[in-house]
C-alpha cells in the first residue's frame, strides 16, 4: 500500500476515535452532572466535578485508544493535556462570545465546539500524546 495512503487512513482513524472519545466525554460529563444535581449538589459545584470527570475520561481514552501511547504516563504529559484543554476552552469561549454577536446562539455554539475540538485534537495529536520518535 502507498505510504501516504496508509498515513492518511491511519490519521482518519485517529480523528474518528478522537470524536468517539469526545462523545463519551460529553456523556460522562452529563451523567455526573445530573447525578450530582439530583443528589442535591449545587449546579456550579456539579459542573466543576462533572467537567473534571469528562476530562479524566478524555485523558485515559485518548491516551490508550485514540493515540495509542506506549510509554508510561508522566506529569509533563498531564500538564500538557491540561494546557491544551485550557486553550481549547479559551478558544471555544472566544468563538462563542464573538459568534453570539453576529449569529444565532446555536450556530455560535456549533462554531465554538468545532473550534475547541480542532485546538484539542491538534494539541493532543502533536504535543500531548506524541511519541518521542514521532517528533
Structural domain count, the chain: 2
Q: Is the pLDDT of residue 133 over 80?
A: no
Range of the domain at 17: 1-68
Residues 54 and 94 in one domain: no
Average pLDDT across the chain, whole number: 92
Hey, how many other C-beta atoms are within 10 angstroms of the C-beta on 78?
Answer: 13
Domain boundary among 68, 83, 109: 68
Please state, in angstroms and as integers, the Cα–Cα distance from residue 68 to each residue in 16, 98, 130, following that order: 14, 36, 10
Give tens-digit pLDDT for 8-67: 999 999 999 999 999 999 999 999 999 999 999 999 899 889 989 999 999 999 999 999
The predicted structure's pLDDT at residue 19: 95
Same domain, yes or no: 21 and 34: yes
Cell numbers at 113, concatenated? 465546539
CA distances to 4, 17, 37, 96, 114 from 119, rounded to whole Å, are 24, 16, 30, 14, 9
Instruction: Give the integer Cα–Cα distance in Å for 59 and 65.
Output: 10
pLDDT at 84 over 70: yes
Share of the chain above pLDDT 70, in %: 97
As a whole number of angstroms, the distance between CA 98 and CA 111 comes to 10
Amino acid at each position: 500500500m502507498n505510504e501516504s495512503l496508509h498515513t492518511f487512513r491511519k490519521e482518519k482513524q485517529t480523528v474518528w476515535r478522537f470524536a468517539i472519545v469526545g462523545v463519551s466525554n460529553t456523556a460522562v460529563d452529563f451523567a455526573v452532572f445530573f447525578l450530582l444535581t439530583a443528589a442535591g449538589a449545587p449546579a456550579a459545584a456539579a459542573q466543576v466535578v462533572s467537567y473534571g470527570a469528562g476530562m479524566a475520561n478524555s485523558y485515559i481514552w485518548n491516551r490508550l485508544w485514540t493515540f495509542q501511547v506506549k510509554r508510561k504516563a508522566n506529569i509533563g504529559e498531564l500538564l500538557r493535556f491540561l494546557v491544551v484543554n485550557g486553550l481549547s476552552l479559551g478558544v471555544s469561549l472566544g468563538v462563542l462570545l464573538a459568534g453570539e454577536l453576529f449569529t444565532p446562539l446555536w450556530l455560535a455554539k456549533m462554531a465554538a465546539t468545532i473550534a475547541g475540538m480542532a485546538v484539542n485534537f491538534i494539541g493532543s495529536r502533536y504535543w500531548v500524546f506524541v511519541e518521542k520518535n514521532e517528533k
